[in-house]
Structure 1
């Protein structure tokens, strides 16, 4: 019987994690807009998505805790978009160098896990200790990307171009 689950030690699925990362980056926006709708009974204006932060900051119908949570969700979303380029570049570098699938898959999937933790903690953060957890998750993810770049650089420096 054929399995639909790839063997992550031999089958490279790392490029499939790029759309997964994009979706994971949009989840905080979806959460924030739903919370805004629930709290104010007003819709997110998709004609001017960059104005959402200003809208939330100035909406008197929001209590301060809800406003802060929505703004943190927006910040998590923005951070995801800001990290999309480095994530893609690390994967392209790793794939161009033909790193072993176990490394490409392991690091790309682990990176997605750090981003999920980052998003969750960022949105729900109300203490300094949770801010530290968010930072550790962020730096841990960056370490994974740097590992991909370093491994790719090491492998490419040994090959004849």
Structure 2
């Protein structure tokens, strides 16, 4: 497997890190987990939002990596962009937890730019 494909797996699993943070406080209720998460406050609430955004960001990223591979984009380019996306998403999540909204939005846009770059580099 290529580094780009491994990054797709990491991107698929990364939201669950924020899920664990969101569910780490108080008495978790597995009978109504969505209700429990909506009642969280502070950084745990933001961790929940970060997980949701991670699930939203995953499909376009995964599609971009796969399409870049199929289109014959240079493997080094795919790998570099895919690793950049993972780094960006980690920083994005940390900024979400820290409640740094403006910088978080800038980092989010960088993630979108990486996805667009993956599509744009296809020959």
When normalised by structure 2's length, the TM-score is 0.92
RMSD: 1.5
Equivalent in 66, 83, 89 of residue 63 of structure 2 = 89
Q: How many residues align?
A: 123
Does structure 1 retain, via aligned residues, the 8 Å contact 2:68–2:119?
yes
Per the alignment, residue 14 of structure 1 pairs with: 4
Does structure 2 retain, via aligned residues, the 8 Å contact 1:29–1:74?
yes
Question: Which of these two proteins has the greater Rg computed from alpha carbons?
Answer: 1
Matches within 5 A, 1:1-161: 12-34=2-24, 36-37=25-26, 42=27, 44-56=28-40, 67-125=41-99, 130-152=100-122, 155=123
When normalised by structure 1's length, the TM-score is 0.71
For structure 1, the 5+ residue unaligned runs are: 1-10, 57-66, 156-161
Displaced runs of 4+ in structure 1, greater than 4 A?
none
Q: Distance in 2 between matches of 1:32 and 1:139?
A: 24
For structure 2, the 5+ residue unaligned runs are: none
Q: Distance in 2 between matches of 1:147 and 1:101?
A: 14
